[in-house]
C-alpha cells in the first residue's frame, strides 16, 4: 500500500501542469529530432542578392508541380542572372524577376502552365487547424504546409501567409511561367488564394525583402531602374556543392510536437499573456522551419 501510494504520488507529480507554461518558441527549441523532416535539396531555391544578402525559398511541388518544374528549369538555365527585385508594395508584396522583358525562356520551361491554384484533397493527410477560416470551408496543415480545403469539393490550396511565394501573372487566362515571383510582406492577402499559383515560402532571409524601400509608383513598382535590387544568382540547393549546401528542416505537421505547438499558439498563457485567445488564425501559426543543426 505504501509503494502504491508513492507510485500514485509520482504519477500525480508527473501529471501536474508545469509551473511555467511553455512559449511556442520554447516548444520548437525543445522539439526532438524526430519532429523534423529534411527538405529535399531540389525543393530549396537559394537567391543571392548582389549586396551580399541571401534569401532561401522552399518550393511546394506537391501543390504546383508544373510551376515548380518551371522554376527549377529557370534556375538551372540561369534565367534570373541579371534579374532584380523591382516592386515593393507596403503591406502586400515584394516582386522579382526580369519584369516583362522578352528574355527567352530556357528549354523545358512550359510557357503557359495550367492554373495550379488548388489541388485534390485526396492524397493529403490533414491536421485540422481547429478554428474557423474566412477564406475556405476548412483550414489545416498538410505535408508541412498551411492549407485551405473544401471537403465537399475535394480540393485543397496553399494560402497567402506572410513570406509565401506566388507566381506573378497578367489577367486570366494567363497563369505566369514562374519567372516573375512575389513574396508576401504584410498581413496575409488571403483573397488571392485560389486566384494565383503559390509555389513555396521564404524560409530564410525574408527580412532582406520586407525591409526594402517601398516603390513609389502604382502597385509599389520602383520609379527608376536604378532603384531595382540586383540579384546575382538563383540556384537550387541541389546545384550547390554538398560542402556548402544549406540544409533545412520543417516540422512534421502530423506529429505530437506540432500538435502541442498549435495548441499553445491558440492558448498563450506564458508570462506576458493575461487572456489566452482560445483560437488562432491559419497564418499566425507559422509552421516551424530551421537550419539543420550541425
| Residue ranges binding its own copies (CB under 8 A) | 88, 90-91, 117, 131-135, 161-163, 171-172, 186-191, 193-195, 206-207, 210-214, 265, 268, 271-277, 279-281, 283-284
Minimum Å distance from CB 210 to its own copies?
A: 6
Nearest-angstrom CA–CA distance, 87 and 95: 5
Nearer to its own copies, 152 or 275 (CB): 275
Question: Are the beta carbons of 93 and 185 closer than 8 angstroms?
Answer: yes
Nearer to its own copies, 109 or 289 (CB): 289
Burial 1-15 (b: 16+ CB within 10 A, else e): eeeeeeeeeeeeeee
Strand partners, 84: 97, 230
195: DSSP letter: S
Minimum Å distance from CB 118 to its own copies?
A: 9
CA Rg, the chain, in Å? Answer: 21
Minimum Å distance from CB 213 to its own copies?
A: 6
What cell was used for 222? 520602383
Question: Are the beta carbons of 180 and 97 closer than 8 angstroms?
Answer: yes
Minimum Å distance from CB 154 to its own copies?
A: 16
Strand partners, 38: 249
Minimum Å distance from CB 78 to its own copies?
A: 30
Nearer to its own copies, 193 or 252 (CB): 193
Nearer to its own copies, 66 or 138 (CB): 138
Nearer to its own copies, 79 or 135 (CB): 135
Closest CA to 130 of 117, 143, 140, 115: 140
Amino acid at each position: 500500500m505504501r509503494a502504491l501510494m508513492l507510485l500514485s504520488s509520482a504519477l500525480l507529480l508527473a501529471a501536474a501542469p508545469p509551473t511555467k507554461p511553455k512559449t511556442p518558441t520554447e516548444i520548437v527549441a525543445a522539439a526532438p529530432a524526430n519532429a523534423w523532416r529534411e527538405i529535399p535539396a531540389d525543393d530549396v531555391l537559394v537567391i543571392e542578392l548582389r549586396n551580399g544578402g541571401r534569401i532561401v525559398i522552399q518550393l511546394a511541388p506537391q501543390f504546383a508541380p508544373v510551376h515548380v518544374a518551371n522554376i527549377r528549369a529557370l534556375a538551372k538555365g540561369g534565367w534570373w542572372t541579371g534579374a532584380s527585385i523591382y516592386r515593393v508594395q507596403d503591406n502586400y508584396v515584394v516582386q522579382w524577376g526580369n519584369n516583362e522583358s522578352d528574355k527567352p525562356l530556357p528549354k523545358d520551361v512550359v510557357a503557359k502552365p495550367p492554373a495550379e491554384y488548388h489541388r485534390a484533397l485526396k492524397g493529403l493527410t490533414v491536421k485540422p487547424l481547429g478554428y474557423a477560416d474566412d477564406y475556405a470551408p476548412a483550414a489545416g496543415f498538410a505535408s508541412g504546409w498551411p492549407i485551405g480545403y473544401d471537403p465537399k469539393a475535394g480540393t485543397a490550396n496553399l494560402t497567402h501567409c506572410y513570406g509565401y511565394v506566388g507566381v506573378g501573372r497578367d489577367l486570366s487566362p494567363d497563369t505566369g511561367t514562374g519567372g516573375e515571383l512575389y513574396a508576401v510582406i504584410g498581413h496575409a492577402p488571403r483573397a488571392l488564394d485560389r486566384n494565383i499559383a503559390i509555389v513555396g515560402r521564404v524560409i530564410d532571409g525574408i527580412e532582406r525583402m520586407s525591409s526594402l524601400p517601398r516603390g513609389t509608383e502604382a502597385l509599389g513598382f520602383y520609379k527608376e531602374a536604378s532603384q531595382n535590387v540586383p540579384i546575382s544568382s538563383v540556384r537550387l540547393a541541389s546545384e550547390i556543392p554538398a560542402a556548402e549546401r544549406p540544409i533545412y528542416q520543417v516540422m512534421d505537421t502530423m506529429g505530437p510536437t506540432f500538435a502541442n505547438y498549435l495548441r499553445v499558439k491558440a492558448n498563450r498563457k506564458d508570462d506576458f499573456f493575461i487572456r489566452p485567445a482560445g483560437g488562432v488564425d491559419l497564418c499566425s501559426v507559422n509552421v516551424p522551419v530551421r537550419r539543420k543543426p550541425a
